[in-house]
Every structure is written in C-alpha cells, then in structure tokens.
Amino acid sequence: MAMSEDAAAAAESPGTPETAATPTGGRRGRVRLKRTALMAVPAVAAGAVLMTLTAQGVLAAQFAISGMPFTITADRLDGKGFAQFGGLDSMIPDSPNAGSTGGQVLVAVSAIKSAQLTNLCQSVDLGGINLVIHAGDGGTPVTATDLTTDSDLLSGDAEFTNIEIGGDASTYTKAGPAGKGNPGVFGQQADTVTLTHLKQHNYASTAAGFKLPNLRLSFSSQGC
C-alpha cells in the first residue's frame, strides 16, 4: 500500500524454475540438483544482498498468487522483529498472468513481527486504470502484526538494530513464525527496522492483523 503519485512500475520476473506436484495435488517450485537460481534481493541493510535458492531452500507459495504485481509506498515504516530471505511464489496452472515466468516468481520475503506505517499507499494496475488505497495519513499510522511481503523490488533508506546477515533462515526467531525460511536459505534478521521513503513492488502480502485508519479506496489513472 503506497502513497506517492508515481505510476506503478510492472517488472518482468526472471526465468522459470521447474515445477512438481505436491502430495496434495498442488504445485510447488523445485530446482534441479546442481542448479541454483541466483536472485538479487534489495537487502535494506547494505543496499543489496545476493541470495541463492538451493534445491533444499526454495519456498512454496503460501497461496496461489494472481501474478498481478502491486506497488506499496510509505513515508515511514517502524518495525519490531525483522527477517528477510528468498522465496518462490506460484500462480495457478495456466494462469493468464504467467507471461514468460512459467507461473513462478522469485521474491524476497520480508517479515516483521509488528509494524507501523505512515502515509501508506497501495496500487494495482488493472489495465489502463489503477485501484488505489490510501491510509495512515491522518496522524494515526497503519498498524500490522506478523506482516509479510513478497517483493521483487524494494527501495528506501533503512536503519537496523542488532542485524545478523548470512544466517540460515530456518533458524530465525526475531520475526516470529512468519520470519522463518526453509533450511539452507540465506537470510538476515534484526531486532528493529526503520525504513523511510519506502517503495515495494510486490506479488503477495499477509498479516495476522491489519488496521488502516483513514482508509480511502479509489480508481485513478496513476498509481502510487
């Protein structure tokens, strides 16, 4: 959810990992042995962190994404309990939005145990018209608990306390259960994170709780 008046930029996703059926009949991402997907993650600690998703570390999507990316911007985000690691989001079979991705998108999963966002805007391009949501700009910030976002682009000015970079994401605890990755996945975690001039290009987001004061929804020729 973002608050600027810049047009939301649509980004093409990188190559397509192989898919395989799960025991429940769904689809999950799989990378062949000795083949890795190199992923540039905009790690807010040092500008960018390269993350390699191994066969043991690729994450299945929590739900089937639509494949339509959305933009989120905020003047400021204050978070307690932060983690970030690589993931793989999947669309339904034969999704009309798959394009050249094969229905799978490499993402950086950012998890925050509790977050406050000031002047929040979210927009999604519906094809010539944007659905835009504004909130948290009337003196009371948006609040979220167990917040996760799956992004392929992220920018802003960041400050962390007690950050750890390069750990195995499956061992992480600072962001709670939502902040755990699969074994072998490169990640980072911190006690707190502060982001200003935040902008994200996302494919999915989840939260256990989400409060949006001064919420407004509209259609516009411009996104966030």
Q: How many residues comprise the chain?
A: 224
Pairing state between β 186-206 and 142-161: antiparallel
- Which string of DSSP letters, residue by residue, matches 26-70? -EEEE--TT--EEEEE--TTTS-EEEEE-TTTPPPPSS-B-S--E
Separation of alpha carbons 142 and 43, rounded Å: 23
- Of the candidates 167, 186, 204, the one whose C-alpha atom is nearest the C-alpha of residue 40 is 186
How do the pLDDT tens digits run along the chain, 224 residues long?
A: 433 334 344 344 444 444 444 444 444 444 433 333 333 333 333 333 323 332 233 333 468 999 999 999 999 999 999 999 999 999 999 999 999 999 999 999 999 999 999 999 999 999 989 999 999 998 999 999 999 999 999 999 999 999 999 999 999 999 999 999 999 999 999 999 999 999 999 999 999 999 999 999 999 999 99
Question: Residue type for 217, please?
Answer: L
